[in-house]
Amino acid sequence: MFGLLVAGAAALLVVPFAPAGDSVREGERAPRTLQAVNDAQYESAVLTQAARDEAARQVEAVLLPPDPAVRVAQLDRLEKLLEQVGVIRQRPDLVNAQQKLAELNNLPNAADLNPTARSAIVALDRVAFESFQQRVRTLLGEILQKPVARGQVDTLVAQALAQPENAGGSATEITALRETLRGFVAPNVSVDEQATARKRDDARAHVSPVIATYTRGQVIASEGQLLDAATIEALRATGVIGSGFDYYRAAGGGLFALGLGLLLAAYLFVFQPLPDRAGRRLALVGAVIFATLAVVRLGVPQLLPDTDHRYLVFALPVAVAAILAASFADLPFAVVVAAGGGLFGAFIAAAVPDLAGSSFTGTTQALQLGTAYAAGGLAGALAVARAERLARYLVAGVAVALATGLVLGAFWLISTPRANESLGWIALSAGVGGITAGVLGAGLFVVLSFSFGVTTRLHLMELTQGGHPLLRRLQDEAPGTYHHSMMVGALAERAADGIGADGLLARAGAYYHDAGKLARPRYYIENMIEGDASPHDGLPPEESAAIIREHVAAGLEIAARYRLPAAIRDFIPQHHGTRLVTYFYRRAVQHGGGVEAGPFRYAGPRPQSRETAIVMLADSCEAIGRAGADKSGAGIDDLVDGVFAERLAEGQLDDCDLTMRELQAVAASFKATLKAVYHPRIAYPQPGPEELARLAQS
C-alpha cells in the first residue's frame, strides 16, 4: 500500500494527466534564451497568414460610381451660403471686418467653414470676392464630378488648386478657396464591399505558403524577448514547447513513478523495518518524500538551465527526505529513500521542465544532479541514524553540505570549460542546501513526531533521564521497584544491543514496566521493610494474586496519566505475558483442593517484539537472581538457563520474532552482566588494638 501511494504521488509530479498547454504564451517575454531542440522545416501558418493579410491590405477598395445627388446638394448649400455672405458684405451698418465676421459666424450654413475660411472671405475686397464666388462654384462642381472617397478631400482640393488655370489670385483668395472647398467637398462614392472582398481574396490566393526552417540549437528567442505568434509557432515546431496529450511521456513518467514505489515497497516487504506504529511512520515518510519531490518539481524549472554556473539547483533541501526516513525508520531504509529520491529528482529535472530541452546545459548534468542529491541524502541519513540529540541534525546538515560539495567538485574537475569562480558557487549552494536540510529535518522531526504520536529516540532519551516525574515517584515511593527497574534496564539494553534490537527502547520500557506498583508499593517484596510483617500474611492466595496482578492495569492507567508513548506502555502488560503469579498459585495448591489457574494468570498479551521479550526475561532473571542464595558463576548460569527454558516451555516467546541464536546471545549477555553485578568481594579483617588506638587518638 505504501509503495502504491508513493508511486501515485510521484506520478502526479511527472505524468501529464491532461493535455498540456503552452508553458509560455504570446505576449509574454521569454524566461531564458530558447534554442531549437530539433531540426524543423514546416509551413508556417502564422507567417503565411501574415503575408496574405499584407497582400490583401495592398489592394485598393473597389468604389461604386459617383452619386450626382451629392454634387447637386453641395453646390446648392454653397450657393445659399454665398448669397448670405454677399448680403452681409453689403449691409451699411456693418462698418468693419469684425462686425461682418460676427454676423457670418451666426449663419447656419457657415458651420461648414472653419475660422480660417471665414476670416479670409470677409477680408476679400469686392472684385476679389466676385472672383472667389465664380471660382469656388466652378472648382466644387469639377471636383464633385469625379469620385471622392473618404480621406481624399484634402488631396483632391490640393490637386485642383495646383492646376495652372486655378493658381491665380491673391494669397487671401487662394486661402478662402482652399478652406471653403475643404468644407464643402464631400465623399460622393461608397465602397463596393463584395467586389473589394473578391479582389482581396484573389490577392491572398496568389501568395505562396511561407516555409520556416530551423536547425537544432538555433536561437529562436532571446531572454526577455517579447513572444509573438510566429515565435510561439516556431517553439512548438522545434520541440521547445508542446501541447496535446503525450501518451509516450505519460507512460514513461508512470513507469518511473511505479519503479520508485516498487523499490520502497520491496524493501519494506522483505525487511519489515518498522515494527512499532508502522502505519504512522510510513505516512510521515511518504508525505515527506512527496513534499521533497514537489519542491524539486517546482524549483528545478526556475533554476535550470544553469548557464551562469551558479549551481543554485543544489541548494534545494532534497536530503531532508532521507534524514527523516532515518529518523522515523531505520538506516537501510533511509539509504533506499536517498538513492531512489535522488534518482527520481534527476528524472524530474530531465523529463518535465517548464520548457523542454532547456534544462541541462551539458551531457553529464543529469548524472551530476542525481548523484549529488543521492550522496547528500546518504550523508544526512548516516549522520542522524539513531540520533539521541537534536544537535545531530546540525551535524547532518554539515554532512549533506560536504557530500554534495565533494560530488559537485568532482564533476567540476571533469567538466570543460571550468571557471574558478564556480567553486565559490558550489560551496554556497551545497552549504545552503545542507544546512537547510538539517534545520528542516530537525524542525519537521520534532513537529511531526509530536503531532502524530510517534515515539522517537529523542523522546526515549527524555524518558530515561532520572529527573522524569514518574521515575522520581518510583524512587521515592517504591525504591525497591525503582532499583529493580534500573537493573532490568541495564540487562535489557546490553542484550538488545547485542542482537541488533533497539537497546534504548528496551531500557526505557524496563524503567517503567512496573510503574503500576506505585498503587500499592508495600504489597511487593522489594519495597517491604525488613522485619515488618507482610501484608499478604492474612490474605488468601487468590486475593494476594489479584493484588499482584492489578499492578498491570494500574501501570497502564499511570502510564496514560503521565502520557508515556504507546511503545513504552506495551512493556507493562507484555513483560508478564500470560504467566501465572507463581508464588501465590503454588501456595494455593499447597492448601489443597482443585485450584483453577485462571485467577492467578496475567491477562497478557505475550511479548510481541524482541524488546518486550528481552525485558520479560530480564525481569525474571533479575528477580530470581536477587532472591537466590547461589550467586556463583555456575549458579547464575543455571538460573538464566532455567528462566529461558521455562519461558520457552510456557510459550511466552511464541509471538515475538526472537530466534534461537538470538536467545542464546541474550542469555550470554544476561550471564555476563549478572556475574559482574554479583561478583564476589573479599572480607575485610577486623581492626586490631593498635589501629583502634590510633583512631581514638586522632
The DSSP annotation for 610-679 comes to HHHHHHHHHHHHHHHHHH-S--SHHHHHHHHHHHHHHHHHHTTTTTS---HHHHHHHHHHHHHHHHHHT-
Q: With 0-12 CB in 10 A as exposed, 13-18 as middle and 19+ as buried, what is 344?
A: buried
**Bigger pLDDT: 528 or 378?**
378
pLDDT value at residue 17: 61
Q: With 0-12 CB in 10 A as exposed, 13-18 as middle and 19+ as buried, what is 682?
A: exposed
Considering only 247-256, 475-484, 563-572, 632-641, which range has the smallest mean pLDDT? Answer: 247-256
Angle between helices 2-14 and 331-351 (to 10 degrees): 20
**Which amino acid type is present at position 222?**
S
| Distance from C-alpha of 443 to C-alpha of 327, rounded to nearest angstrom | 12
Q: What does the H/E/C string look like for 307-327?
A: CCCCCHHHHCCCCHHHHHHHH
Cell triple for 85: 455672405
pLDDT value at residue 173: 87
Residue 284 scores a pLDDT above 70: yes
| Distance from C-alpha of 680 to C-alpha of 657, rounded to nearest angstrom | 36
Residue 538 scores a pLDDT above 70: yes
Considering the domain delimited by 459-677, tell me its CATH architecture. Answer: Orthogonal Bundle (1.10)
Q: Tell me if the bond preceding 607 is cis, omega within 30° of 0.
A: no
Provide mean pLDDT across the span 57-86: 88
pTM for this one?
A: 0.66
Residue 649 scores a pLDDT above 80: yes
Considering only 169-183, 607-621, 680-694, which range has the smallest mean pLDDT? Answer: 680-694
pLDDT tens track for 394-414: 999 999 999 999 999 999 998
User: Look-up: residue for cell 534545520?
Assistant: 439
Indicate the average pLDDT of the chain. Answer: 89
By C-alpha distance, which of 461, 499, 455, 459 is closest to 614?
Answer: 499
CB 600 within 8 A of CB 589: no
Considering only 24-28, 405-409, 598-602, 640-644, which range has the smallest mean pLDDT? Answer: 24-28
By C-alpha distance, which of 220, 399, 403, 416 is closest to 309?
Answer: 416
| Distance from C-alpha of 168 to C-alpha of 131, rounded to nearest angstrom | 10
pLDDT tens track for 507-528: 999 999 999 999 999 999 898 8
Question: Which of 23-32, 63-72, 240-249 has the largest mean confidence?
Answer: 63-72
Sequence-distant (6+) residues with CB within 8 A of 356 are 37, 239, 240, 241, 242
CB 35 within 8 A of CB 217: yes
CB 675 within 8 A of CB 669: no
Considering only 339-353, 420-434, 514-528, which range has the smallest mean pLDDT? Answer: 339-353
Cell triple for 218: 538555433
Residue 354 scores a pLDDT above 70: no
pLDDT value at residue 244: 63
**Which amino acid type is present at position 230?**
A
pLDDT value at residue 23: 64
Provide mean pLDDT across the span 660-665: 96
User: Look-up: residue for cell 568532482?
Assistant: 410
3-state secondary structure of 204: helix
Boundaries of every domain in the chain = 2-16+245-454, 34-54+198-237, 68-184, 459-677
Cell triple for 473: 515517584
pLDDT value at residue 103: 84
pLDDT tens track for 666-678: 999 999 999 999 8
By C-alpha distance, which of 622, 674, 616 is closest to 647?
Answer: 616
Provide mean pLDDT across the span 628-653: 92
| Distance from C-alpha of 626 to C-alpha of 483, rounded to nearest angstrom | 11
Pairing mode, strands 211-214 and 219-221: unpaired
Q: Could you tell me the pLDDT band of residue 149, with boundaries at 50, 70 and 90?
A: confident
pLDDT tens track for 96-141: 888 888 888 888 777 778 888 888 888 888 888 888 889 989 998 9
Residue 169 scores a pLDDT above 90: no
CA 335 to chain centroid, in Å, comes to 21
Angle between helices 469-477 and 479-498 (to 10 degrees): 130
- Residue 465, Ramachandran bin (φ over 0: left; ψ between -120 and 50: alpha; else beta): beta
User: Look-up: residue for cell 517548464?
Assistant: 354
CA 545 to chain centroid, in Å, comes to 58
pLDDT tens track for 7-39: 999 998 887 665 545 567 888 888 778 888 889
